[in-house]
Structure 1
Amino acid sequence: MHRESTASVIARQLRTAIMERALQPGAQLSETALSAQFGVSRGPLREAMQRLVQEGLLRSEPNRGLFVIELDEADIRDVYVARAAIEGAAATMIARARVPAALRELRAACDAMSDSLQLGDPAALSDADFRFHDVLVQCSGSRRLARMHQTLIVETRMCLTALEGTYQQPLELVEEHNQIVDAIESGDVKLTIKRVEQHMDEALRRLIHAEDDDPGYV
């Protein structure tokens, strides 16, 4: 059985800290503090931090150290362009493969969003939303798409707090995801890509132009 390395565990914990803003945008990382927090030596910690530098979640400043990246509007637009490409490719692979298990997982992810909506739980709906997109890429079977998507999802979480993003019509949000799955199930690749791109365009529009600070959706 493959055992996750210490550096991989720390890298995952750092991503989560950045995503949940325990490490704020622009914050400088302290090796001493993080080493004590994680209970590890500096070797694996440095390896983990370098992974995040390569992923673009940390930036290195000569003679100063490592800092959490900060996202402006141009960065946010770029994140969604990249997500449309990756998730469009993943959806296309699923549509062409027509694997029933993948469709069941996607339908289940949509159902989880519907359940959260029925309960009136915005936080649960947001989590279910992110889960859908993770399932979409994982079901493609592409490890490289999944690896790239992992970083983009962290940046998306950062986007939702960098700007005051919210979605005022959650019912439409759920329907958008169902329409993506409908297109995948039909095997129509052009329609599938169109639906993914439309969803990303709408998500970006809502994120950038929203005025309230309720939980955002992706």
Structure 2
Amino acid sequence: MKRTEGFQPISQESTPALIAAQLRSLISKGSMAPGAQLVEMDIAGALGVSRGPIREAIQRLTQEGLLVSIRNRGVFVAEFGEADIRDIYEARTAVEKAAAGLLVEGDHSSAGAELLVKVDDMEAARAKSNSEAMSEADVAFHERLVAMAASPRLSRMHGTLLTETRMCLNRLEGRYLDESVRVAEHRHIAEALKDGKTELLMKLLDAHKDDALARLLTEKPSAATLQTA
């Protein structure tokens, strides 16, 4: 047997994968809201493709848990209940703590400095009262934290969890009386990593998770409450 047998030609990303990426982005940004129904024919018409690739893309996102298929009704964007939200944040934090542990063992000073740049992006978004940019900078911080650990498996797990996190972040809008609190939480995490303080770093990641869950799982304050707080 030749050593080259069994290899397949390298091709560009498939159409279903590209469609799945578009749908994933729309879902994560809230453009396709939780509970919204997906209609294959409508999506195929909008993208100018046949329904086959659409169906395959939908199957991928269903496997990821972002879509739900209901017999005799159709396919819908997943809606997260309290248990789902807790599970997402517990799982994401577990992955991030594992990544943080790897980073502390390496060049933690440089890693912390990189995260502080992401914190500066959050502060810039806060100063402009740009909630969308704030959420993107928030996600970018956590994405970079795990990416720097250079663990393909941790990154793979974290990728799906981040899409679900983006869906949750849409609910965080209006739940911070002062967005500087959110910025400060991330800054403290980055500084703990930079200083190589493992125990403090793990405590801060857990506290960050607990704070997010407390805000997500309580009733959103009314405009009157925000004005009088």
TM-score, normalising length from structure 2? 0.82
**Structure 2 CA distance for aligned equivalents of residues 213 and 11 of structure 1:** 36
Aligned match of 2:101: 92
Question: Displaced runs of 4+ in structure 1, greater than 6 A?
Answer: none
Structure 2 segments unaligned to the other structure (5+ residues): 1-9, 224-229
Aligned match of 1:166: 175
Describe how 1:23-42 pairs up with structure 2 within 5 A.
23-42=32-51
- Tell me which amino acid in the other structure corresponds to 1:193: M
**Structure 2 CA distance for aligned equivalents of residues 162 and 64 of structure 1:** 26
- Tell me which amino acid in the other structure corresponds to 1:89: A
Q: Which is further off, 201-210 or 11-20?
A: 201-210
CA contact (8 A) 2:109 2:196 kept: no
Q: Which is further off, 127-136 or 183-192?
A: 183-192
Aligned match of 2:83: 74
| 1:12-50: CA deviation from partner (whole Å, max 9, x where unpaired) | 111112123332322222111111122222232222111
**Structure 1 CA distance for aligned equivalents of residues 167 and 222 of structure 2:** 14
**Structure 1 CA distance for aligned equivalents of residues 180 and 170 of structure 2:** 22
CA contact (8 A) 1:163 1:208 kept: no
- Aligned pair partner of 1:152 in 156, 161, 169: 161
**Structure 1 CA distance for aligned equivalents of residues 79 and 131 of structure 2:** 26
- Aligned pair partner of 1:44 in 40, 48, 53: 53
**Structure 2 CA distance for aligned equivalents of residues 147 and 210 of structure 1:** 32
Structure 1 segments unaligned to the other structure (5+ residues): none
Describe how 1:99-178 pairs up with structure 2 within 5 A.
101-161=110-170, 166-178=175-187
SS in 1 for 2:68: strand
- Tell me which amino acid in the other structure corresponds to 1:195: L
Aligned match of 1:15: 24
**Structure 2 CA distance for aligned equivalents of residues 67 and 174 of structure 1:** 34
- Which protein has the larger Cα radius of gyration, Structure 1 or Structure 2? 2
TM-score, normalising length from structure 1? 0.85
CA contact (8 A) 1:165 1:206 kept: no
SS in 2 for 1:209: coil
SS in 1 for 2:38: coil
**Structure 2 CA distance for aligned equivalents of residues 115 and 161 of structure 1:** 19
Identity of aligned residues (%): 46
Cα distance 1:155–1:66, how it changes in 2: closer, same or farther (>3 A)? same
